[in-house]
Structure 1
Amino acid sequence: MKTINHRFHLRAVTSVAALFFAAQAWAVDPFTIRDIRVEGLQRVEPGTVFASLPVRVGDVYNDDKGTESIRSLFGLGLFTDVRLQTQGNVLVVVVQERPTIANVEFVGTKEFDKDTLIKALRDIGVTDGRPYDKALADQAEQELKRQYINKSLYGADVVTTVTPIDRNRVNLTFTVTEGDTAKINDIQIVGNRAFSDSTLKGLFELDTGGWLSWYTKSDQYSRTKLNADLEKLRAYYMSRGYLEFRIDSTQVSISPDKQKIGVVINITEGQRFVVSGIKIEGNYLNRDDEFKSRITIRPGEAYNADQVAETVKAFTDHFGSFGYAFAQVQPVPQIDRQTNQVALVINSTPGQRAYVRRINVVGNDKTRDEVIRRELRQLESSWYDSNKIKLSRDRVDRLGYFTDVNVDTREVPGVQDQVDLVVTVKEKPTGSLTVGAGYSSSEKLSFVFGISQENVFGSGNYLGLNVNTSKYYREYSVSTTNPYFTDSGISRTYDIYYRTQHPYNYETDEDYYTYVTKGASIKFGVPFTERDTVFFGAGIENVKVKDYTANDTYIRDQINEYGSSVNTIPLTLGWARDQRDSSLVPTTGSLHRVNGESSLIGDAHYVRANYQYQRYASLSPRYTLAFNGELGWGKGLGGSLPFFKNFYSGGLGSVRGFEQSSLGPRDSAGNAYGGSKKVTANVELLTPFPGAGNDRTLRMYAFVDAGTVYGDSENISIGELRASTGIGVSWISPVGPLRIAYAQPLRKKSGDEIQRIQFQIGTSF
């Protein structure tokens, strides 16, 4: 019996050399294989080995076939040792399997959760059930260090411990010493003359730290953030005439203790150029004047790359509105360095008109396709229209279900007049929590709680629950909306509510009456244009007054007029026009909302109307001015306006700095009972939060509020207005928009209840 003992240990480059010398030392005479046996298998299937062998029963075996067989088996990555032996005409394959990873553990990891690290290692092949490989374990160490470097933890150290256990398995333990986070201690810009260091560094997201750096992480180095800052720097110069500005180099250094990082940016500003003229060339579909009217560049002004980009986009979009999906618009600057002037020539080629073959929606793991598609105004098998595509994108974005919405145009291979559209969305949690709280001398600490889901089961339907736990005002309500009750986009809303109110008598320090409101309503919304919706509906309501003990009060007169139990059937009619650029963080646009209510059937007859107007103006990319105004008017038909339809003012959503619903007329016991007329005005200036860069989700604001309510017999008088001013913080938190404010009354009356600190989650103003 001859034995071929080709023994190899796959160890980097030495395996090739070992294979060569072993083959020379253990040469064997060729023979015909009668059988093949495999020994040493524990978990690997024999079929895996047989499938990898380049020889079969009946083949002639020789040294070359043996070398190739061993190379193939080692290539599987499943074995630490492979030997070939012969017993007569039988080829015996003896293998030693690699240990299998039984478990992967992490010790000392605080910066990352375990699931994040497990996923990172799984991507490189280190996970439970996979064969253990020392080379992969070393690669896993490097991957973990890379993860920590991305968090600016350059001093992180990783030690791998391999613990053998039964059945040829091992446990892997990665022990991490994270160390301290490396901080940027210096940023230098070299070569700037036109603008100061502070001006240019103010553009950056990265900085040397501040008192809010624990939240913004702005002093932690990131290559991605640095690249974004360099683009901001480039755009700043290019928008101010520096056409030949360039960034020559960037150097990032780290201190020996790996705790301090320095960044040096070398730039060349070049000369500042002024636009001498603009000329258009090419094919403009015989609509030259229309395209010229879209040019935002002005001769005599500094060259502005932003304006050039806006003009190119305006041209491309205008071509797209006529079906030319792939129009080529090329701005060509003609530079005169002697006079520092630049003439701009815009060349355009519309290409061939196209229509949309197919629209694909991707990224909607929860939201149903139909919820997105019903918002699209660009249809399949229709001419390509960039205006309809933009409107479609905006409508999908305004649903509020997604953090990002993009529409990409893709050519159809082999066809020149067809395109496909891909609508890519990135979903966000659509459930929200609304919490409000306030402190007053009467109610002490009170809370408002609400929970809602804007996209129930991905259907696009809304479901909300509100609970108010105030001592003197309690509410339980459920609301649900189907935005597409009909295929044409008519919405339907159901509301059911139960409210208990306990107006407070400040003289006797006790409740002086209670009234309970129970009701339900149905409302429909009919879209007349893309931004205008008309609402109408009807409801049924019962108000019952009980436990009234005070004499000679406003409520006593109301009970004498309407009785202690009042049934009404209110009819509602409203209109809304929303032109804001965002419903969550608006910076431009306006909102109009009108609501009317009337009851002509039941125990009380009245009419009531409310108008709200909001306007947002972007003063700069960092500052936004916001205005909110509200007018309310109500009148009883044949009597006074029922007290349960009065308007209220003071506190959150109206005049901050005053206790909730405490402004306006008071009865003989000093209790505010609302009024039939309401005036409210709010002005806010929103600015970046100090130390947060230009983060729009965290901002400070200064505000001025004014307003009050007036009774039936009172005329609207400026002299009765209350006013306040203050500062606050606005934060788009994981549970919704949070606003906290400190207010100081500017105009107040004797007896007004002051409440200087207030906060709310879930609403604006």
Structure 2
Amino acid sequence: MKSSSTLACITKSLTGLALGLGLLLTTGPAFAQEQEIVIEDLRIQGLQRVSPGSVFAELPLQTGDQVLPSEVSSAGKRLYATGLFDDLKIFEDRGVITFELKERPTLNELVIEGNQKVSSDDLKSGLRQAGLQEGQIFQRSTLDQIKLELQRMYHAQGRYNARIESTVEELPRNQVRVRLDITEGSVATIRRINIVGNEAFDNETLVRRFELQEDRGWTLFSSADQYSRERLSGDLERLRSWYLDRGYLRFNIESTQVSISPDKQDVFITVNVHEGEQYTVSEVELAGDLILEEDQLRPLQRLQAGDTFSRSAMTSTSETMRRRLGIEGYTFAEVSGRPEIDDENLEVKITFLVEPGSRMYVRKVNFRGNTGTQDEVLRREMLQMEGASANTDLIQASKARLERLGYFSQVEVETSPVSGSDDLVDVNFTVEEQPSGSISASVGYSQASGIVFGAAISQRNFLGTGSTVSFNANKSDFRTSYNFSYLNPYYTIDGVSRGFNVFYRETDFDALGVTNFATDAYGGNVTYGYPISHDSRLSLSVGFDKTGIRANQNADQSYVINEIDNFNELYGLDFLNYKLTGRWTQNKLNRGILATAGSYQRVSLEVAIPESDYEFYKVEYRGQRYFQLADDWSLKFRTEIGYGDGLGSDFDRLPFYEHYYAGGLNSVRGYRTSRLGPRNSAGNAFGGNLLTEGSVELIFPLWFVEDRRSIQTSFFVDGGNVFTTRCYGQSTCERGFDENELRFSAGVSLTWLTAIGPLAFSIAEPLNDQDGDETEFFQFSIGQVF
């Protein structure tokens, strides 16, 4: 029996997580004896924001239940575990159980001060994810954990002397204001990296292999001198690979120590190594099911008896052999190099174990992600055929052809086994489409052309068929042009292309600062192309153009006639020419624009055929070659050569309106556009019939740019000029090519594919400009395609 004087009080003062585990129970005699209680009523006290319904929903107790004191205590623990309360007390009097609660405060305001390297918005976003947010329940334990996380974040940036101080101010209505005072401190830099135990290579040679570098002053714009545990792990693996690639098979990193100076500004790294002895290759064997003859696999070996052992050469040999077997259809072949070490003689025998597996055949070639492009457009680029044996080279070449289309921002390929079959695979291409059409109006500017107004409708993948349709109109200070073109790259199933275009343009060369005449021209052509290999094609174009020559607003017609040596007396000033153009093009670039690897070549011959008003020919060569040095680093070579002349005894020179010009962004940078070469009697550039240009560029990445496919920077050296073998009457020129007249420049360039159009600029210094040359240190263009 329980009397009214018996008061069982279960109290729990919850002063935070620091008090530890479980409830501290203070019980009266009834609870101490674990006598059952019949619940007459349940009461909740102290609620302000939390609804009683939420509390009762968490309590596994109801009126009329017979419960033990321990069950009431467990109910209190469950209620506290909701995280809504700072303190909880339980009272029982004659079956009436009262839960007296103290709610946790609400975070009214979060103030962050002292942060500069990380914005307050970013910090608040991170704190919100960690559970500290204005308007939510405030838990001091969460604040303590967040302070530790912020400390670790700044330590990850190398700011080891960063401090995080917090204050909690109580406000009315059970609210608090939290203030975080951050002292970010300065970045600690690596003062010294020391490798101990090395004898074969000096410290400087080994440290150059590291991504982490000592602070030398020139790392101002780099984080290479800031310590990172992850980067150190990568550097240690590079160090290990360096030794293993030079025959030190027993190399071992015995310990690594990282220490920081008392002022937390300098970091010192010490790596203790054991080099061991250098091993040479005693023998190289092939084992397993070779499939191919040994004389076909032996040339793929990068290691021979007597060579210094190299792990990378062994791995590369395995991969090369595996790819070779993949060409034969053994898609899942495995080739593993197994070294047998002879420590006594310091030799290693390498056995390449060949496990070809089953020869695979392609069941299906599937495409995913091409929501706008028809399957047929992708399928016609395939070199790997369904039903044929799987060929890894053909699969990768098919992937490259899809990437060159320019319709997709990303192309991935996966070869997957067919369930239930041991010799069938599916080849799955996954593409990510990018916009291939546009309707635009633009205003651009370049130093060469002035303000450029343009309007264009273009669709490179018209209705998903792969055909290109475009119309554009442009007007600048020196040119007005209109052009319509159409190209079907697969006019026939064999890949024969057909296209045509029509154009009209007016060109005022004097506005460009060149010579004193203007031309009006219109024409059109039809072009057929034929593929002769995976990356090469021949094309033939037949067309005509009508060109009229007139004096511009700054010169009268007689001046133009005299300037061109009475050209009109022989040929007139209006020319209707029928042109036949043949081209050979080879494209092995890894991208359609801003390439970094591969090569491109084009040879063309344009002839104004008989029955033309003026018969002439032009032969041109354009070439690019990229050598990839490392990720995002490439060396680019560019060459452009052009030559033109008249055909037959009646036409003894290239007509002046077809002249080549040199100088400018797309030519020899640092010299004004089209201002190099022979000049007329008025001192204006007159062009010539022989063009020679070339450049060498070192393409390098900008460390702060993530999307490096849309921006490209380079150091360059340009060279070239335009010459003439046939001088017009009053033009001043030296006949023929003269290497002493080549102009050179060096500088830095940037090309950026922006949302409003391409942006290109260069900063160049002419290296051998002469009197009369017109130079420009800074050249740029916005809204024009290069």
Secondary structure in 1 matching 2:145: helix
Offset, 1:560: 5.8
Offset, 1:659: 2.7
Alpha-carbon distance change, 370 to 75 in structure 1, aligned in 2, over 3 angstroms = farther
How many angstroms apart in 1 are the aligned matches of 2:521 and 2:64?
91
How many angstroms apart in 1 are the aligned matches of 2:579 and 2:48?
79
* Greater alpha carbon shift after TM alignment, 603-612 vs 339-348: 603-612
Superposed, 1:242-641 pairs within 5 Å as 242-286=248-292, 288-321=294-327, 324-352=330-358, 385-391=391-397, 394=400, 458-461=434-437, 467-470=444-447, 473-478=450-455, 481-485=458-462, 489-501=466-478, 528=531, 530-532=534-536, 546-549=552-555, 552-553=559-560, 557=564, 576-581=585-590, 588-594=597-603, 610-617=620-627, 625-634=635-644
Residue 717, structure 1, aligned to residue 736, structure 2: yes
Alpha-carbon distance change, 276 to 460 in structure 1, aligned in 2, over 3 angstroms = farther
**AA in 2 matched with 1:283:** D
Conserved? CA contact 2:156–2:228, under 8 Å: yes
Offset, 1:732: 7.9
- Report which structure shows greater RCO (CA 8 Å, sep ≥6): 1
Offset, 1:218: 1.8
How many angstroms apart in 2 are the aligned matches of 1:549 and 1:100?
83
Alpha-carbon distance change, 254 to 634 in structure 1, aligned in 2, over 3 angstroms = same
Residue 6, structure 1, aligned to residue 16, structure 2: no
Offset, 1:210: 3.6
TM-align CA RMSD:
5.1
Alpha-carbon distance change, 211 to 255 in structure 1, aligned in 2, over 3 angstroms = closer
Alpha-carbon distance change, 36 to 155 in structure 1, aligned in 2, over 3 angstroms = same
Offset, 1:81: 2.5
Conserved? CA contact 2:718–2:746, under 8 Å: no
Alpha-carbon distance change, 163 to 398 in structure 1, aligned in 2, over 3 angstroms = farther
Conserved? CA contact 1:619–1:625, under 8 Å: yes
How many angstroms apart in 2 are the aligned matches of 1:220 and 1:372?
50
How many angstroms apart in 2 are the aligned matches of 1:226 and 1:764?
44
Identical residues among aligned pairs (%): 29
Superposed, 1:170-209 pairs within 5 Å as 170-209=176-215
Counterpart residue number, 1:445: none
How many angstroms apart in 1 are the aligned matches of 2:162 and 2:372?
41
Within the candidate set 672, 676, 682, 1:663 is matched to: 676
Offset, 1:332: 0.8
Alpha-carbon distance change, 487 to 621 in structure 1, aligned in 2, over 3 angstroms = closer
**AA in 1 matched with 2:444:** V
Offset, 1:175: 2.0
- Cα deviations by residue, 1:482-540 (Å, 9 ceiling, x for unpaired): 4433766444444432232265699xxx9986858798999999794553467789899
How many angstroms apart in 1 are the aligned matches of 2:576 and 2:110?
68
Counterpart residue number, 2:720: 706
Offset, 1:319: 4.0
Conserved? CA contact 1:359–1:422, under 8 Å: yes
Conserved? CA contact 1:120–1:143, under 8 Å: no
How many angstroms apart in 1 are the aligned matches of 2:365 and 2:171?
56
How many angstroms apart in 2 are the aligned matches of 1:204 and 1:91?
69
How many angstroms apart in 2 are the aligned matches of 1:213 and 1:29?
76
Conserved? CA contact 1:359–1:380, under 8 Å: no
Alpha-carbon distance change, 477 to 308 in structure 1, aligned in 2, over 3 angstroms = farther
Normalising by structure 1, we get a TM-score of 0.77
Alpha-carbon distance change, 613 to 31 in structure 1, aligned in 2, over 3 angstroms = same
Alpha-carbon distance change, 101 to 288 in structure 1, aligned in 2, over 3 angstroms = farther
Q: Note the residue ranges of structure 2 that are not aligned, 5 or more in a row.
A: 479-507, 729-733
Offset, 1:603: 9.9
How many angstroms apart in 2 are the aligned matches of 1:525 and 1:71?
83
Counterpart residue number, 2:686: 673
Superposed, 1:210-221 pairs within 5 Å as 210-221=216-227
How many angstroms apart in 1 are the aligned matches of 2:349 and 2:219?
45
Q: Note the residue ranges of structure 1 that are not aligned, 5 or more in a row.
A: 428-454
Residue 753, structure 1, aligned to residue 730, structure 2: no
How many angstroms apart in 2 are the aligned matches of 1:377 and 1:32?
83
Offset, 1:237: 2.0
Counterpart residue number, 2:662: 649
* Greater alpha carbon shift after TM alignment, 736-745 vs 228-237: 736-745
Offset, 1:670: 0.8
**AA in 2 matched with 1:707:** N
**AA in 2 matched with 1:753:** E
How many angstroms apart in 1 are the aligned matches of 2:426 and 2:283?
38
Normalising by structure 2, we get a TM-score of 0.75
Alpha-carbon distance change, 59 to 26 in structure 1, aligned in 2, over 3 angstroms = closer
Conserved? CA contact 2:546–2:574, under 8 Å: no
How many angstroms apart in 1 are the aligned matches of 2:377 and 2:166?
48
How many angstroms apart in 1 are the aligned matches of 2:475 and 2:273?
66
How many angstroms apart in 2 are the aligned matches of 1:533 and 1:45?
78
Conserved? CA contact 1:657–1:745, under 8 Å: no
How many angstroms apart in 2 are the aligned matches of 1:137 and 1:367?
51
Conserved? CA contact 1:23–1:67, under 8 Å: no
How many angstroms apart in 1 are the aligned matches of 2:176 and 2:363?
57
Alpha-carbon distance change, 210 to 377 in structure 1, aligned in 2, over 3 angstroms = farther
How many angstroms apart in 1 are the aligned matches of 2:175 and 2:429?
47
**AA in 2 matched with 1:268:** H
How many angstroms apart in 2 are the aligned matches of 1:79 and 1:110?
36
